[in-house]
Structure 1
């Protein structure tokens, strides 16, 4: 079910910090036109950490209405408190989303046993499919392949966004998990190699900027055209790396504003706008990708 190019969507904001809902509509329409396979709302890239849950519900509802079933919509429901994750899941489950992206509990660094219990409790709060999300660089904890394999036995835990960037990790997951367990890359720089090694898709930051290109790369791999996929991905390598020159989504928002896709690159504190010293390197990555002349 979860395959191809899904975008970890940013949340456009007005200069006063309010959510820019008209800008959000514009971004959704952009992805519908560009061939994106799905939208992941209220993840790290969407600044969920500084957006109230009441606002998150409004944002996700707005996206669902705008998408109107044309592509997948997944909602972030992560928390480092299991009770909060369950409560959020109950609320989000009322919306016409296609599933959840559930990040590992962050900061309090649970053991594998604790993460097993956490994900099982969250999964029990919904019948909708759940993608696990493993991003140790952000959360401080690593969901190990043997734990993922145990969780894969839960009926509605159907896949994982694996953001370690390790192809060895992908191989371990392939060996331990069912063949239909969705394996999606959460690391743009290594996502092509992940796909060529048998991964099913990518949840991408770069796809905010270059959705048609990311979707095309996924299609090329699916159609067994690895050389063409590598050529296409080479053009995006600058973006894959430079969009993380400062904390995500700082560079991505700046690039979207530079391309005229959002009106403001505002972010709520403690995130701040991209330092001017980095503007040129982002522009060069956009030029390399053929997005800026």
Structure 2
């Protein structure tokens, strides 16, 4: 399986982790979910991220999910989230998943980091732990981690560690950070791939700022595929029209604590997974919320029909 590089681009869908109603892993749904994502145009996958409920899995379960996803993905790249409070756990999981064919690993900073020096030192320790031959995605998601990484600090980390080949950009507001990274590259700094998260809520603007694609789990991957494709072709108005059709559902999915429940409900409705169940603790949609989601999907379908 190919490794990710600084030139990687496209849509790497953040995959959910399927569970049965009793909270056990639904291994039968993993294959159908992987097939679903690729059928909708994904270039690769990222598993065991925050939306994949990774903290609720044991280390053995994480490796099991990775092994099955990698096997089903064939030659397509799969990035594995290995974030953990301690470096030992990061190192152990990284070795396990790289040995079975992962394309790279993703690491978010722990919430205890506060200063620039601490952040720089942390990623130095990460690279030393996993090895400089392992491609690393730096997940910059301050809304979740509480860790603010400035453009200057991010640049220092990139310059110091060539194995950090990708930034998962999820700062909000953060469009200027994409511009800062690309401007620094124009002045001679090495290139990094930039894939964007936040459910795709700013994807049209991010692509125009110089992002290489999306790395998020919105349950309509085809939206991200189309927006990225049209943007790369310079067809920004068409990309915006496609995006606008999905925007109400994306907005609804942004509700803190409820977003994963919405996402899993839609994926189950679309046949990607058998059940919308989350492993405890996790929120479920009320009957009223389900009705709201169904209405949004109905309106979305009408808007898409008008575009064709």
- Displacement of 1:179: 5.5
Other-structure match for 2:277 = 266
Other-structure match for 2:70 = 64
- Judge conservation of contact 2:63–2:93 (CA < 8 Å) in 1: no
- Judge conservation of contact 1:5–1:201 (CA < 8 Å) in 2: yes
Other-structure match for 1:134 = 140
Report how many residues are paired: 289
- Judge conservation of contact 1:9–1:45 (CA < 8 Å) in 2: yes
Alignment of 1:1-293 (within 5 A): 1-69=7-75, 71-106=76-111, 108-124=112-128, 125-126=130-131, 127-153=133-159, 154-165=161-172, 166-177=174-185, 178=189, 180-187=191-198, 188-206=200-218, 209-247=219-257, 248-290=259-301
- Assess, with a 3 A threshold, how the Cα gap between structure 1 residues 114 and 90 changes in structure 2: closer, same or farther: farther
Instruction: Provide the secondary structure at the position in 2 that maps to 1:138.
Output: helix
Segments of 5+ residues of structure 2 without an aligned counterpart are 1-6
| C-alpha distance in 2 between matches for 1:278 and 1:226 | 33
- Judge conservation of contact 1:257–1:264 (CA < 8 Å) in 2: yes
Normalized per residue, the structure richer in helix is 2
- Judge conservation of contact 2:23–2:280 (CA < 8 Å) in 1: no
Instruction: Provide the secondary structure at the position in 2 that maps to 1:78.
Output: coil
| C-alpha distance in 1 between matches for 2:256 and 2:139 | 21
Quote the RMSD (CA, aligned, Å): 1.9
| C-alpha distance in 1 between matches for 2:149 and 2:84 | 15
Other-structure match for 2:4 = none
Segments of 5+ residues of structure 1 without an aligned counterpart are none
- Assess, with a 3 A threshold, how the Cα gap between structure 1 residues 6 and 192 changes in structure 2: closer, same or farther: same
- Displacement of 1:237: 0.6
* Deviation digits for residues 146-176 of structure 1 (CA, Å, limit 9, x no counterpart): 1211111211101211111321222222233
Instruction: Name the TM-score, length of structure 2 as normaliser.
Output: 0.88
- Judge conservation of contact 1:105–1:115 (CA < 8 Å) in 2: no
| C-alpha distance in 2 between matches for 1:103 and 1:287 | 36
Instruction: Provide the secondary structure at the position in 1 that maps to 2:85.
Output: coil
- Judge conservation of contact 1:152–1:159 (CA < 8 Å) in 2: no
| C-alpha distance in 2 between matches for 1:25 and 1:254 | 18
| C-alpha distance in 2 between matches for 1:103 and 1:51 | 17
